[in-house]
Homo-oligomer: A and B are copies of this chain.
Amino acid sequence: MDLSTLGRPLEGLRVIDLTRALAGPYATLLLAGLGAQVIKVEDPRGGDLARENSPYVGRDGIVVERKHDDDVSISHLTRGRGKHGVSLNLKAPEAAGIFADLVRSADIVVENFSAGTADRLGVGYEAAKAANPAIIYCSLSGFGADAPEGGKAMDVIIQALSGAMFASGDHDDPPVRIGVPIADMLAPVFSVIGILSALEQRHRTGVGQHIDVSMLGALTSFVAIENWSAMAAAGMGARTGLTVRRLSPFGVFECADGYVALVAVHEKMAQGLFRAMGAPELGEEPRFASRDARVANAHALEDRINAWSRTLPVAEVVRLLEAEGVPTAPVRHPEEALLDARVVAREETMPIAHPSYPSTVDLRTAGIPIRFSGATTGFDDVLPVSIGEHNADIYRDLLGYSDADIAALQAKGVM
């Protein structure tokens, strides 16, 4: 089947994108990759702050400090993919009418201002609904659209509040800051589910609605899949570090040149592990001869495994375990993981490049991790390098504004 003729699942839908930073732009990035047309609205006086994130890429390659006007932040290259960009000063008196025109042309609006800000700017759900009752309007915020105003919701703040930091690490360890901005990333994924669910409902009802997703709520709901209070009531330790002793042997072990993950919970796997270790007799030893015994003697078992694995390179440990059918994997660095042949082939990670300057480094970033048999995913070859780059395409060709009107609005600083 020629996938290129299939089209993308959300083709024909249009998104007005008021978002900044990471959480909001990742939501609209997913919508763009699924085929929606995304129109990113930026303030003509500076635009998305992610444009200022170091490092940059440009004519001098990858640089920590911006040197040339056309150096582009890799954050912006990543998150701006497949999006059209228009400029609009939301504080200008003309902005309300222009926003209404955009919303009338669209199916979806997404914003991630602090709670209450969009309403104050005149671009909240009520304003959008007045322009287009079928609009689906999604707000992403730190604590929900109903939260009192204020309170900056950075990823690290939400990680701290959600319990995710104390879910990782060992019993007496400090908390662990998760190195992937998981609070920033999860809320947008749930926002997209909310938007698509509301689209499905709109097919039945004809009307839109307001979707409201909280970063704290999204991440806390993930943490809550483990029943922490029941584990505590049952006397089961919650913070167990690199291994989970109630499933022993299970977790991460040290090798001569790195670390390996292995799981040998069930009898067959445990016997395979002991054979891989060149010590099949461990399977007869009373301390390790049954699942219950292995759990009861987990510390001794883990010491025994580490004493073996520390003498060998990761690749050799993985080879020996795989030969015995024991689930195992090397613990890989992100740079290596992003280049996994399976992940690259499925475009779950993808290359990005400055539109004008090819890079010698593979700038690899997030793709759309969903494969469709009857559709494609991916990004149109469009990116707002400069703020308002697509004003003519959108304001003139889509909304029908005249060149003279656009020029006048630009001269006034509205666009």
> Which residues of A4-33 are within 8 A (CB) of B?
9-10, 12-13, 22, 26, 30
- Looking at A9, A125, A182, the one whose CB has the most chain B CB atoms below 10 A away is A9
A305 at interface (Cβ–Cβ under 8 A)? no
What CA separation (Å) do A372 and B196 show in the bound complex? 12
Contact A348-B218, Cβ < 8 Å, known A201-B374, A232-B335, A371-B145:
yes
* Contact (Cβ within 8 A) A177 B168: yes
What CA separation (Å) do A217 and B346 show in the bound complex? 8
- Looking at A143, A179, A192, A372, the one whose CB has the most chain B CB atoms below 10 A away is A179
A225 at interface (Cβ–Cβ under 8 A)? yes
> Which residues of A116-149 are within 8 A (CB) of B?
125, 143-147
> Which residues of A148-192 are within 8 A (CB) of B?
151-154, 156-169, 174-182, 185-187, 189-192
Chain B: CB-nearest residue to A177: B242
What CA separation (Å) do A30 and B192 show in the bound complex? 13
Contact of A228 among B160, B211, B251, B338 (CB under 8 A): B338
User: Least Cβ distance of A35 to chain B in Å?
Assistant: 8
Q: What residues of chain B lie closer than 8 Å to A174, measured between beta carbons?
A: 242, 252, 254, 259
- Looking at A191, A220, A231, A342, the one whose CB has the most chain B CB atoms below 10 A away is A220
The 8 A CB mask of A242-257 against B (1 = contact, 0 = none) is 1110100011101000
* Contact (Cβ within 8 A) A218 B157: no
Q: What residues of chain B lie closer than 8 Å to A181, measured between beta carbons?
A: 225-226
Contact A370-B190, Cβ < 8 Å, known A143-B342, A163-B332:
yes
Contact of A250 among B64, B144, B156, B201 (CB under 8 A): B156
What CA separation (Å) do A211 and B346 show in the bound complex? 13
Contact A200-B197, Cβ < 8 Å, known A213-B370, A216-B340, A332-B166:
no
* Contact (Cβ within 8 A) B143 A332: no
Integer count of this chain's copies in the complex? 2
Pick from A83-91, A202-210, A401-409 the stretch touching chain B. Answer: A202-210
User: Least Cβ distance of A80 to chain B in Å?
Assistant: 13
Chain B: CB-nearest residue to A326: B152
User: Least Cβ distance of A306 to chain B in Å?
Assistant: 11
Chain B: CB-nearest residue to A63: B234
What CA separation (Å) do A372 and B208 show in the bound complex? 10
What CA separation (Å) do A61 and B200 show in the bound complex? 41
User: Least Cβ distance of A161 to chain B in Å?
Assistant: 5
A411 at interface (Cβ–Cβ under 8 A)? no
* Contact (Cβ within 8 A) A175 B349: no
Contact A211-B55, Cβ < 8 Å, known A229-B335, A236-B64, A364-B224:
no
What CA separation (Å) do A161 and B211 show in the bound complex? 34
What CA separation (Å) do A259 and B49 show in the bound complex? 29
Q: What residues of chain B lie closer than 8 Å to A152, measured between beta carbons?
A: 263, 327
Q: What residues of chain B lie closer than 8 Å to A96, measured between beta carbons?
A: none
Contact of A200 among B144, B179, B196, B337 (CB under 8 A): B196
11 interchain pairs, CB-CB under 8 A: A145-B371, A160-B259, A163-B334, A163-B337, A189-B193, A196-B200, A198-B375, A203-B203, A210-B372, A214-B369, A223-B334
The 10 closest A-B pairs by CB, nearest first: A163-B337, A167-B179, A163-B334, A217-B348, A209-B374, A196-B196, A160-B261, A210-B373, A9-B197, A152-B327
Q: Which residues of A contact B (CB under 8 A)?
A: 9-10, 12-13, 22, 26, 30, 34, 54-55, 57, 61-64, 74-75, 78, 125, 143-147, 151-154, 156-169, 174-182, 185-187, 189-194, 196-201, 203-205, 207-214, 216-218, 220-236, 238-244, 246, 250-252, 254, 259-261, 263, 327-338, 340, 342-343, 346, 348-349, 361-375
